[in-house]
Chains A and B, each alone.
Chain A
Amino acid sequence: MRRSTAAAVGTLFGAALIVGVRLSVSTPVVTAAPTDVDLAGSGTSADPTPSKSGSKKEATKKPSAAATDDAGEAGGGTGLTDGTFKGKGVVNPYGTVQVSIKIADGKITVAEATYPTTGNSATINPGAVLKLKAETLEAQSADIDAVSGATFTSKSYKESLQAALDAAGA
């Protein structure tokens, strides 16, 4: 018995590792946003909004400049063409991830990625940010068929609303 339990734990750690790998599939794509600028410049972009002719050399040269650029420098000096660029959609086993960046005054102002939001993908990809909404705790009485609660023992059952319901229906 002891041996089989250990084997099961080993399998579980293996499975946990796989999930970790899956998570990291999408992350590098986000950090690779500057690379997608190059892709846009070299004509593989799915949707280059502004004209890209003549900007290829500068675009491939400048991402590093953009990264070190600070607010003190002249905004237009990076040579990046203003507009919104979408990277080529990258297909991973969970769907298509597409990165887009927005350039204004020669700087990357927005970099974002779209993730699949259906099925398993939504739970694996970080794109889906789900939250429970805060509300006011109520204390109400209502006509009900059953009560859900942490009634654990037969003693606490006797004191519960469910016991009252059962007595009423008997």
Chain B
Amino acid sequence: MGTVVSIDLADRLPDDKLTKLVEDTCAWLHEVDARFSTFKDDSEVCRFRRGELTLAECSPDMRHVLDACADLWRDTDGYFDANAAGPLDPSGYVKGWSVEVASARLAAAGSVNHCVNAGGDIRMRGTNAEGSPWRVGIRHPWQADKLSWVLALSDGAVATSGSYERGDHVINPRTGKPASGLRSVTVVGPDLALADAYATAALAMGESGITWLAKLGPQGYESAVVTDDGRAFSSAGLPAAV
């Protein structure tokens, strides 16, 4: 996936148990990379692309990913598009989903207090080592060492998409041209895969993404946005730290 994952386990468990949990999490993430990478010729995604696998022959995980991408394409009015760059590339969903699954597996294996951060997209449960809700800073879109918001949450996901790291690399799938208007979009909600996809879609929408994000509130997804010209917006339910 070409990104760095930070795993923070805050449970009072024996060291060897914690080490095992981290190893299992890493093994899962590497497995996802091997199966879903668009850069590895023998990955399931690449084999499916080439027609070597039919949909029925795909793994249940692969079929889930394809279903989810189709649902998101519809739910985002086409702005989340796994085919935006041409051939199927579900990476925009897989990254968040893999961390979502990693977090669920950690919880099932006994770690109910953890924070997994995959390249700025975070899934957390329980509390930090001090027993408080996790405090998540949203990076300032112009000053890498500053924060534009600080959130406090116990259970949930925070995903940020921004044009500041990848230049104008996010493509508006409706026009095929680089998206513009929004500098940084953060979505907070129960599912990291969806939060990440919503943030990417809103960034692709440009300024109209602000209105679109507001409609996600009733579904439990809050947001914080910074425009290209430095205006900031946030939804009423954003879990800002006190």
Chain B min CB distance to A120 (Å): 8
Flag if B148 contacts A131 (CB, 8 Å). no
**A148 pairs with B158, CB closer than 8 A:** yes
CB closest residue in chain A, given B137 = A144
The answer to whether the Cβ of A153 comes within 8 Å of any Cβ in the partner chain is yes
- Do A141 and B146 touch across chains, with their CB atoms under 8 A apart? yes
Interface flag for B73 (CB, 8 Å): yes
| Residue count of chain A within 8 Å CB distance of chain B | 49
Q: Are B120 and A151 in contact (CB under 8 A)?
A: yes
From 87 to 130 in chain A, residues with beta carbon under 8 angstroms from any chain B beta carbon are 118-119, 122-123, 128, 130
The answer to whether A135 touches B232, judged by C-beta atoms less than 8 angstroms apart, is yes
> What residue in chain A is nearest B227 (Cβ atoms)?
A137
Q: Which B86-123 residues have a C-beta within 8 angstroms of A?
A: 88, 115, 117, 119-122
B48 within 8 A of A: yes
Cα–Cα distance between A150 and B214 once the two chains are bound (Å): 21
The contact of A4 among B2, B55, B150, by CB within 8 Å, is B55
B211 is an interface residue with CB less than 8 A from chain A: yes
List of A residues within 8 angstroms of B137 by Cβ? 142, 144, 146-148, 161
Are B6 and A149 in contact, with the CB atoms below 8 A?
Answer: no
Cβ of B204 under 8 Å from chain A: no
Stretch with Cβ within 8 A of A (4 or more), from B22-30, B31-39, B171-179, B215-223: B215-223
Q: Does A16 contact B (CB under 8 A)?
A: yes
- A165, B136: Cα distance in complex, Å: 12
Contacts of B164 in A (CB 8 A): 150
Binds B, one of A7-15, A33-41, A64-72: A7-15
* Interface 0/1 of B136-176, CB less than 8 Å to A: 11111001111111100000001111111110000000000
B9 to chain A, nearest CB (A): 11
In the assembled complex, B85 has its CB within 8 A of some CB on chain A: no
> Distance in Å from the Cβ of A116 to the closest Cβ of chain B?
11
Interface residues of A in 145-162 (CB under 8 A from B): 145-154, 156-157, 159-162
Task: Determine if B70 and A8 form an interchain contact, defined as CB atoms under 8 angstroms apart.
Answer: yes
* Interfacial chain B residues near A131, Cβ < 8 Å: 211, 214
CB distance from B10 to the nearest CB of A (A): 9
Partner of B162, one of A15, A145, A150: A150
A145, B8: Cβ atoms closer than 8 Å: yes
A4-B54, A146-B136, A150-B162 given as contacts; is B184 within 8 A of A122 (CB)? no
Q: Does B17 contact A (CB under 8 A)?
A: no
Q: Pick from A15, A122, A132, A141 the residue with the most CB of B within 10 Å.
A: A132
Could you say which residues of chain A place their CB within 8 Å of the CB of B162? 149-150
CA distance A137 to B143 in the complex (A): 12
- Cα of A27 to Cα of B2 in the assembled complex, Å: 48
Question: Cβ of B180 < 8 Å from any Cβ of A?
Answer: no
B233 — nearest CB in chain A belongs to which residue?
A132
Q: Which 7 residue pairs across A and B have the least CB separation, nearest first?
A: A149-B139, A150-B162, A132-B233, A130-B214, A137-B232, A157-B4, A144-B137
Contacts A1-B54, A153-B165, A154-B4 known; list 5 others, CB within 8 Å. Answer: A130-B217, A133-B235, A138-B149, A147-B137, A149-B165
